[in-house]
Amino acid sequence: MSESRRRWWHRLTTRSPLLVTLDALILGFVVGALVIITTTASVLDAWRAMFSSWAAFAHACQLTADVVGAAYRAMFTGAVVNPRIFWHAVTTGQGWTLALTPLSETLTYAAPLIIASIGVGIAFQTGIFNIGANGQAILGGVAGAYMGSLVHLPTVVHLPLTLAAGIAGGVIVGLVPGLLKAYTGAHEVIVTLMLNYVVAALLIFTLLSTVLQQPGQQNDISRTLAPSAQLAPLFGAASGLRVNWGLAVAALVVVFAWWFLERSSLGFDFRVTGANPQAARASGINARAVIVLVFVISGGLAGLAGIVQLAGTTHYLDGGFLIGNAGIGFTAITVSLLGRNRPVGIVWSSLLFAGLGVGGRAMQAATGIPLDLATVIQSAVVLFVATPVLVQEIFRLRHAAAAGEVRLATSGWGS
């Protein structure tokens, strides 16, 4: 009995990738709490009065716990489940839609995020930093919008064609940094960053000045996708839940990525190139071909994420498509790092970050604390995950005999 307990304790205090990730999560939420505390006037006022009496001190503590607790509670109930509503649904059989909406929203948001993050993760595993996933996803959405709204076909043909158009859009944007890196040595970080701005401008241009614009509209808004090109709600339109077949697409992508990285010979070449470019070259792997193919796959997946977002959730494009807080291509970078660039890890981290995003919106509605707190928490978590030794020191973890290091992707500007 005590033997097994000791083993558990040992496991909880010895550094392992999973433990570092969990501890980084705890630290991320601590950072978020500190940000809330230091920026909420009522909490600060309570602490200013703490020296006047024990009661004031107790009040300050309690108010802090209340404010932070309310924020995180709103986040949880907005992203996962509200126990009260859920219990009401269980006991009465009524209101299931309301009870399941938070989970449905999180999954809706997670589906394209999983796809885009796997694209970024495959690039990372090859030693390539694709910061351009957002631009690739936007052009995927634009290309898919042309196919989905201007062509009319039966669903069996139309939906696959629309998804394929999205992939093609992402591939086109991805090829630019891929070819430039392979043939001129241009660093992909700068090129993909700049392309994000180019594509964002291109999106507005297509919405305002091309046939894609909704007829009779002056604003930057596109035609709506034909029903035959939309990803239908998973539980039918009558369910009132937005979660759609995009989730199934994401599942297929996860399976594909696992097979590709673990079982296919091209995936092996990718991973060897990422782990040791010199060894890859020495063993006859064509470095240029690998660079171009990585961007084809990574860009294609980002494009697929864009069209899944469009066909499953928004059904039309506007100027805010994947801009700002909705920029899943940017979130995908942090998601992929948190998931250690592996498909299964990415699924978990996508669910978490999707939950943070959805819950952040609920938190803003319930408590007035801006949803950008979710971005702060996400960035903090990833900073800690990228620095496992710091987490190890903060939590005083023991060194494992062979702790799985995060293999980081990039090394300076060199080629």
Partner 1 sequence: MSTVSRRRTRGIGVFMALLGLVTALGFGLASGSAARSSLTFNPVDLSASAPLHLGTLTLPTAIANLVLGLAMAALGVELLVRVPRRGVMARFGAVALLFFLALLLWAVRTTGPAPINFVNVTAVLVGASALTMVLIFGSLSGVLCERAGVVNIAIEGQFIGGAFIGSMVASTTHDFFFAAVAGGAVGGLLGLVLAFLSLRYLSDQIIVGVVLVTLLSGLSSYLNLQVLTPFPQYNTGNLAPNLPIPLLTKIPVLGPVLFDQSGFFYLMIVLVAAVSYGLFQTRWGLRVRAVGEHPQAAATVGIKVIGVRYANVILGGVVAGLGGVAFMATQGQFQPGYTSGLGYIALAALIFGRWRPSGAVVASIVFGLSLYLSYNLQTFQVPVSTEVLGMVPYLITIAVVSGLIGRVRPPAADGVPYQRD
* Residue ranges binding partner 1 (CB under 8 A): 35, 39-41, 129, 131, 176, 180, 184-187, 189-191, 193-195, 197-198, 201-202, 204-205, 208-209, 324, 330, 333-334, 337, 369-370, 372-376, 378-380, 382-383, 386-387, 389-390, 408-415
Nearer to partner 1, 116 or 226 (CB): 116
In three-state form (DSSP H/G/I as H, E/B as E, the rest C), the secondary structure along 138-182 is HHHHHHHHHHHHHCCCCHHHHHHHHHHHHHHHHHHHHHHHHHHHH
Minimum Å distance from CB 306 to partner 1?
Answer: 19
User: How many other C-beta atoms can be found within 10 angstroms of the C-beta atom of residue 354?
Assistant: 24
Identify whether the C-beta of residue 231 lies closer than 8 Å to the C-beta of residue 246: yes
Element (H, E) at 199: helix 188-209
Nearer to partner 1, 149 or 341 (CB): 341
Contacts of 246 (CB under 8 A, 6+ apart): 108, 111, 112, 231, 308, 309, 311, 312, 313
Element (H, E) at 102: helix 96-125
Minimum Å distance from CB 139 to partner 1?
Answer: 13
Nearer to partner 1, 28 or 170 (CB): 28
Q: Measure the CA dihedral 234/239/242/248, to 10°.
A: -10
Minimum Å distance from CB 134 to partner 1?
Answer: 12
Minimum Å distance from CB 372 to partner 1?
Answer: 4
Minimum Å distance from CB 32 to partner 1?
Answer: 10
Tokens matching residue 352? 């978490």
Minimum Å distance from CB 261 to partner 1?
Answer: 20
Nearer to partner 1, 194 or 293 (CB): 194
Nearer to partner 1, 216 or 414 (CB): 414
Helix %, strand %, coil % for the chain, to 5?
75, 0, 25
Identify whether the C-beta of residue 133 lies closer than 8 Å to the C-beta of residue 306: no
Nearer to partner 1, 266 or 366 (CB): 366
Taking CA atoms, 25 is separated from 1, 87, 103, 257, 362, in Å, by 30, 28, 20, 25, 20
Minimum Å distance from CB 54 to partner 1?
Answer: 30
Nearer to partner 1, 87 or 197 (CB): 197
Residue with token string 């649904």: 89
